[in-house]
Chains A and B, each alone.
Chain A
Amino acid sequence: MLKINNLSKKYDDLLVLDNINLEIADSEFICLLGPSGCGKTTLLRIVAGLEEATTGRITLNNQSITGPNTCIGMVFQDYALFPWRNILDNAIFGLEMKGVDKETARNKARKYLRLLGLERFEKSHPHELSGGMKQRVAILRALLIKPEVLLMDEPFGALDAQTRNQLQIELLKIWNKDKKTVLFVTHSVDEAAYLADRVIILSKRPGRIKETIEINLPRPRDRTSMEVNKIRSRVLKTLGAEQEAQA
């Protein structure tokens, strides 16, 4: 259980997050939406332990989070792969840091690269891969050290629509298998409606939780079904009101 209690964040005098309270059950898939600049990235970075909250606290299974922790993995929009490492060695970075023997780690990563259809690229460097491939590697890299929570900050935001759909499908497959808790920031209402158990909508800055929408639809969802459309309209309505307020 990931708990966010009375969390606020200020940069100097700029209040970015205002009293966020959120409880996320194990294996829950949460999508976080909100106008740009409302503090989504900041929230994720605080949960990841990369940034300190100004007030409030975050606990994972009743343990306070005070710094980066391998129980919580993170995937960034621009992949953040290490450009000097090839794909295979990017994937094993976390295992390496845990002290796993390099060859053992490589063999383990190779197995997954094969599943992702990337085995031919294991010796390639990130700049030789497409965005979709890079993000697959970044997700693999985060998952190989088996975090309990996976934070994803607009991970598919830079990808074309088709690749994006494909990666959503692959992500759900992975999630179905090992049921991690996922906190997923997106700008896309479609993406949220397709992926989430629960959609959280933040207000414009300072970010507050504006609305929570539960989605009790089985997966895989039909992107064009009535139910999904209904969810989409609800999210859009809330977001639209926020955007208007901002304008």
Chain B
Amino acid sequence: MPHGRLLRVISLAGATIIWEIAASVVNDPLFLPRFTEVIQTFYHVVASGDLLRDLFESLMHFGIGLGLGIVIAIPIGMMMGWSRTADNIIDPLVELVRPIPPIAWIPFAIIWLHLTHYAAGFIVFMGAVFPILINTYAGFRDTPQILIDSGKVLGCVRSRDLIKKIALPYALPSIATGVRIAMGVGWMCVVAAELFGVSNHGLGYKVWWYKDIHQMDGVLTYMLILGIVSLTIDRVFRYITDERLLKWKTGLVRNK
């Protein structure tokens, strides 16, 4: 095992041991459940099939919000980055709505969409849409003039072609960064969105549910699951984008 990885394993194992010792000293499962209890609860939620159901519903809320965010933010960001006029029209609206914390939309989500999965998805959407929009916009706006010019002299003249062949590929790494940030924010919104009772399942919902029945080992189990799922999604996304899509960009950075 390489030295660095060994240290990482030791660090994790050490933290777990300290946790276990601390919990046995405190000896109050409500204040701090033991690691071994959490593992047992984890085993239980996996075996009972609860986890799969919760995971499915949370991913659904996440997927609705993120998907909608991508579909709406990318075209708008493209327009704003490409056309000064579109920028002037849309930017003030964006700057008005963007600073509002997504969670503050919960009352309207309930009024507009009732207690449905869409309401939860809407909260995730409010968290996801702006990071994607801003990064798409920046990528388009920063397309070097020289690349546009060299496209033009090679017969790529219409706006449609310039966007498709030059601005979009140039902006893709930036868009991917936006989506990645949006996934982080969106996942946090999932927990908040499942708090107000859109369904009886979901990773976020279960955090609150276990708290209400004073089972803090369940709370901690679902907290850890939330972290692990988020980490996995991020890693998979990075693997796909870094390895395939953005090889040229990492090359540029490295060569600087």
Chain A interfacial positions (CB closer than 8 Å to B): 45, 48-50, 67-68, 70, 72-74, 76, 78, 80-85, 93-94, 97-98, 125-128, 141-142, 145
Contact = CB atoms under 8 A, between A and B. Distances in A.
B155 to A, nearest CB: 4
B161 A97 contact: yes
B154 A84 contact: no
B250 to A, nearest CB: 9
B157 A68 contact: yes
A93 B248 contact: no
A126 B150 CA distance: 15
Contacts of B166: 82
A127 B156 CA distance: 23
B146 interface: yes
B67 interface: no
B155 A125 contact: no
13 contacts: A48-B153, A68-B153, A70-B154, A74-B150, A74-B153, A83-B248, A84-B169, A84-B172, A93-B165, A94-B155, A98-B155, A125-B251, A128-B251
A48 B153 CA distance: 7
B156 A125 contact: no
A125 B249 CA distance: 10
Given A84-B169, A85-B169, A142-B153, 6 more contacts: A48-B153, A73-B153, A76-B149, A84-B170, A97-B165, A128-B251
A107 B251 CA distance: 27
Interface of B: 146-147, 149-157, 161, 165-166, 169-170, 172, 247-249, 251-252, 255
A127 B252 CA distance: 6
Contact of B155 (A50, A76, A97, A127): A97
Contacts of A128: 251
A85 to B, nearest CB: 8
B111 to A, nearest CB: 45
A80 B251 contact: no
A48 B155 CA distance: 11
Contacts of B146: 76, 78, 80
Nearest to A50: B149
Given A125-B248, A127-B251, A82 B155 contact: no
Given A80-B146, A80-B149, A141 B154 contact: yes
Chain A interface, DSSP helix/strand/loop, else mixed? loop
Contacts of A127: 248, 251-252, 255
Given A70-B154, A127-B248, A145-B155, A82 B147 contact: yes
Contacts of A49: 152-153
B244 to A, nearest CB: 11
A84 B153 contact: no
A156 to B, nearest CB: 17
A68 B166 CA distance: 16
Contacts of B152: 48-50, 68
A79 to B, nearest CB: 9
Contacts of A45: 149
B150 A70 contact: no
B169 A76 contact: no
A100 B48 CA distance: 59
Contact of A82 (B149, B169, B172, B249): B169
A138 B156 CA distance: 16
Contacts of B155: 68, 70, 94, 97-98, 145
B251 A72 contact: no
Given A78-B146, A84-B170, A93 B251 contact: no
B180 to A, nearest CB: 18
A45 B157 CA distance: 15
Contact of B153 (A50, A82, A85): A50
A76 B147 CA distance: 10
A40 to B, nearest CB: 15
A81 B166 CA distance: 11
Given A125-B247, A125-B248, A128-B251, A142 B154 contact: yes
A116 to B, nearest CB: 18
Contacts of A145: 154-155
Nearest to B153: A74
A102 B149 CA distance: 22
Given A76-B146, A84-B248, A125-B247, A93 B157 contact: no
A70 B152 CA distance: 9
Contacts of B157: 67-68
Contacts of B147: 80, 82
A48 B170 CA distance: 23
Contacts of B247: 125
